[in-house]
Amino acid sequence: MRLEISGVSHCYDQVEALRDINLTIEPGEIVALIGPSGCGKSTLLSIIGGLLQPGKGQITANGPVPDGCLNPLTYVFQDFALLPWRSVAGNISLVLEDHKLSKAERTARIDEVLEQTGLSDFRNAYPKQLSGGMKQRVGIARALAVRPAVLLMDEPLSALDAQTRILLLDEFSALFARTGMTAVYVTHNLNEAVRLAHRVVALRRRPGTIKEIHTIDVPIDQRHEGDPLMVAHETSLWELIRDEAIAADKELENVV
């Protein structure tokens, strides 16, 4: 499914968050949104996902969705948002229960995503028994259970320790390469953007506008931690946003 973002602008009261964003996201493409704090990355993701209506402009979705798709646009958040009284399988089942699926169909979908995310042996475990990385795997499995056309990911690894983040980056990379899904990935971490995205969209500080779109022409499953080419891409991105990131951090410090 192709997403077309046309002339999107948005204000919060008197604060202009986004101005005239134009971007097309092709089927099977992973696009990362980066930029200084407060540049409107999460606002843009919320508009794409329909959680927020833009002040101006529109989002258009065109093209087919995957077979069995129950929710074309599906979120994965930084907060795992798991129900503590439900097991891993029960938390995944939650997103399927309002749809007209038989018990056998629900079970088949749960089995499928547990296998995809390496959670098959943990189907009966409860959130309190899981590490942060495992909880986020459950969040990913829950999102995949509805077979989305586009996965919307808002800093999904930011609450995790460095070792777990690297492990999940490898898993995300394999997942994207295997499924060919479309995703929009918001992050402050340039390493994540370089490891996972076909294109990295750098936004200027508020009001957020597109400063540059950086293309990475290396298959996602061939990118590795510490690879010199990936380090070079990461360095280029930092040089692109560094001055504005420093200015935005000083602005936040002054507010505090």
For 51-67, what is each residue's pLDDT tens digit?
999 999 999 999 888 88
Higher pLDDT, 112 or 163: 112
CB burial of 22-61 (b: ≥16 within 10 Å; e: otherwise) equals: ebebebebbbbbbbbebbbbbbbbbbbbeebebeebebeb
pTM of whole model > 0.85?
yes
Say yes or no to pLDDT of 224 above 80. Answer: yes
Confidence of residue 254 (pLDDT cuts 50, 70, 90): very low
pLDDT tens across 144-158, in order?
999 999 999 999 888
State mean pLDDT over 191-212.
Answer: 94
State mean pLDDT over 13-39.
Answer: 94
Say yes or no to pLDDT of 256 above 60. Answer: no
Contact 169, 196 (CB under 8 A): yes
State mean pLDDT over 101-109.
Answer: 94
Strands 30-34 and 182-186: parallel
Question: What percentage of residues in the chain have a pLDDT greater than 90?
Answer: 68
Higher pLDDT, 63 or 248: 63
Say yes or no to pLDDT of 48 above 70. Answer: yes
Say yes or no to pLDDT of 232 above 70. Answer: yes
Q: Which of 103-112, 123-132, 241-250 has the lowest mean pLDDT?
A: 241-250
State mean pLDDT over 180-208.
Answer: 93
Say yes or no to pLDDT of 255 above 50. Answer: no
Question: What percentage of residues in the chain have a pLDDT greater than 70?
Answer: 98
Structure tokens given for 40:
């409107």
pLDDT tens across 13-22, in order?
889 999 999 9
- Residue 253 is predicted with a pLDDT of 52
Confidence of residue 252 (pLDDT cuts 50, 70, 90): low
